[in-house]
Amino acid sequence: GENVEQHPSTLSVQEGDSAVIKCTYSDSASNYFPWYKQELGKGPQLIIDIRSNVGEKKDQRIAVTLNKTAKHFSLHITETQPEDSAVYFCAAPNSGYSTLTFGKGTMLLVSP
Amino acid sequence: DSGVTQTPKHLITATGQRVTLRCSPRSGDLSVYWYQQSLDQGLQFLIHYYNGEERAKGNILERFSAQQFPDLHSELNLSSLELGDSALYFCASSGSSRLAGRGGELFFGEGSRLTVL
């Protein structure tokens, strides 16, 4: 099955700085890579995703890049704000595509 | 608010006991997924139901079982509980015709926190 590795496990930045979270996957057939954000006391929520036919996708301050050759994808958050503080999960399809295999999460702390 | 409702929000019980967690998906969503979240393992997929039928199983223990009822709500039954079963259990639903692994967005509830003493 798919194996998703996520780094770092924690990331502390100052407000206004950029943050980058990286993930690797094992199944070269995977073609859909979402990112979910989990705020304290809430369930994860989809914030952005990318498919294997594009290398980059942007949505305001967040962007995701994909390198299929190297089998890794990254989440980039620019001009971070305190409300960006949360746990971020990357994911890739499991074998059979019925659901997602999630990375172990990155706790992002943005200090004012 | 994702529209997915999970009850109870918190549950404290003893080893060896049995509990039932309930999930009401978003209106009209046919797919229900159960995930277990622990500090060291992250989000682990347990099981997926689609319109009442089991579609996929993940790392679900034999002591655990689930079902989806005709009204589409789902229940996760955990029996012979052990200390290591303490975790946050999430239900997610999807209304997309796409499977989650092909781009169908998952909508998560706020979870049921189980503590086994």
Least reliable range by pLDDT among A11-20, A22-31, A71-80, B38-47: B38-47
Å from B15 to nearest chain A CA?
A: 25
Q: Mark yes or no for CB contact B101/A94 under 8 Å.
A: yes
Q: Compare all CA atoms of chain A with the CA of B55 and give the residue at the minimum distance.
A: A98
CB B108 to CB A44 under 8 A? yes
Mean of pLDDT values over A5-21: 97
pLDDT mean across residues, chain A = 94
* A1 pLDDT above the threshold of 70: no
**pLDDT digit string, tens, across residues A43-90:** 999 999 999 888 999 999 999 999 999 999 999 999 999 999 999 999
Q: Which of residues 76-95 of A touch B (CB under 8 A)?
A: 89, 93-94
Mean pLDDT of chain B: 93
Across the interface, whether the CB atoms of A103 and B42 are under 8 A apart is answered yes
Q: Are B52 and B69 in contact (CB under 8 A)?
A: yes
Tens digit of each residue's pLDDT (9 = 90 or more) over A77-96? 999 999 999 999 999 998 87
What stretch of H or E contains A18? none
Closest partner residue to B110 among A36, A43, A99, by Cβ?
A43
User: Would you call A104 an interface residue with chain B, using a CB distance cutoff of 8 Å?
Assistant: yes
- In this complex, the residue of B55, B56, B102 whose CB is nearest that of residue A32 is B102
Three-state secondary structure string covering chain B: CCCCEEECCEEEECCCCCEEEEEECCCCCCEEEEEEEECCCEEEEEEEEECCEEEEECCCCCCEEEEECCCCCEEEEECCCCHHHCEEEEEEEECCCCCHHHCCCCEECCCEEEEEC
Q: Which of B41, B101, B108 sits opposite A98 (nearest CB)?
A: B101
pLDDT band at B103 (very low <50, low <70, confident <90, very high): confident
